[in-house]
Amino acid sequence: MNKIIAIDGPSGAGKSTIAQGLASRLGYEYLDTGAFYRAAALKLHQAGLAQNSRDEQIGDVLKDTRFEFTATGELYLDAVSVSTAIRTPEIGSMASIFSARKVVRNYLINIIRACAHGKDVVTEGRDTTTVIFPQAWRKFYITASTDVRIRRRFKQLRDYQIDTDLHEATTDIVDRDERDSERELAPLAKAVDAIVIDTSNMSIEEALQEILRML
């Protein structure tokens, strides 16, 4: 049986870094589900669609889109690498808006599951533990205080060479928390069987070590 380790939690808690670190230490593939929502938002935006577009319009664009996620964590949208283009706060906020649409979720969930099929993977993103992979072998809910998450997001944006300031990082985290937690479909929530790791006072390496001990 292939093994899936699913990592859920709010923005900026350290999910990506922890998931990538775990995947490389365990020799598993890394699957970043948020990247699919970001890439879909980029494509829908490029196609001129917005929050109020009709389901059929959104579905038609998605049906014509090819998503490929490589084992090294690169995402290709219609054969073009978008790994950096999808990291801007604008795309993050569009992803959060479009991901609240059923037509988008239903479409991406199948693509994401197919990417994990038959493989050992460490996957991360909202609802990976509750909806996408409810049967995951291990589930973790990584969280941290809002202040710590804002500082981490700021650093992450800078690392991607994205020109930003603390105010923008704050809006990115706070607005997204609100939208992702309050939406009707697959809101940010802790699975009952997920182990909570609060990384506010831990380095990411310490969190990683703690998770490795629990496997």
With helix as H, strand as E and coil as C, how does the chain read? CCCEEEEECCCCCCHHHHHHHHHHHHCCEEEEHHHHHHHHHHHHHHCCCCCCCCHHHHHHHHHCCCEEECCCCCEEECCEECCCHHHCHHHHHHHHHHCCCHHHHHHHHHHHHHHHCCCCEEEECCCHHHHHCCCCCEEEEEECCHHHHHHHHHHHHHHCCCCCCHHHHHHHHHHHHHHHHHCCCCCCCCCCCCEEEECCCCCHHHHHHHHHHHC
Stretch that binds ligand DC, among 64-72, 90-98, 113-121, 144-152 (CB under 6 A): 90-98
Least separation in angstroms between residue 140's CB and ligand DC is: 14
Q: If binding means CB under 6 A, how many residues of this protein chain bind ligand DC?
A: 15
Choice from 99, 129, 143, 199 touching ligand DC (CB under 6 A): 99
Least separation in angstroms between residue 122's CB and ligand DC is: 14
CA triple 176-182-183, angle to 5 deg? 90
Least separation in angstroms between residue 137's CB and ligand DC is: 18
Site string for ligand DC, 175-214 (x = CB under 6 A): -x---x----------------------------------
Q: What's the rounded Cα separation, in Å, for the pair 100 and 211?
A: 30
Choice from 28, 37, 107, 133 touching ligand DC (CB under 6 A): 37
Stretch that binds ligand DC, among 30-38, 46-54, 74-82, 157-165 (CB under 6 A): 30-38
Choice from 17, 83, 88, 96 touching ligand DC (CB under 6 A): 96
Choice from 95, 144, 157, 169 touching ligand DC (CB under 6 A): 95
- Which residues 125-144 are close enough to bind ligand DC by CB under 6 A? 125-128
Choice from 4, 13, 18, 33 touching ligand DC (CB under 6 A): 33
Contact residues for ligand DC, defined by CB under 6 A: 11, 33-34, 37-38, 92, 95-96, 99, 125-128, 176, 180
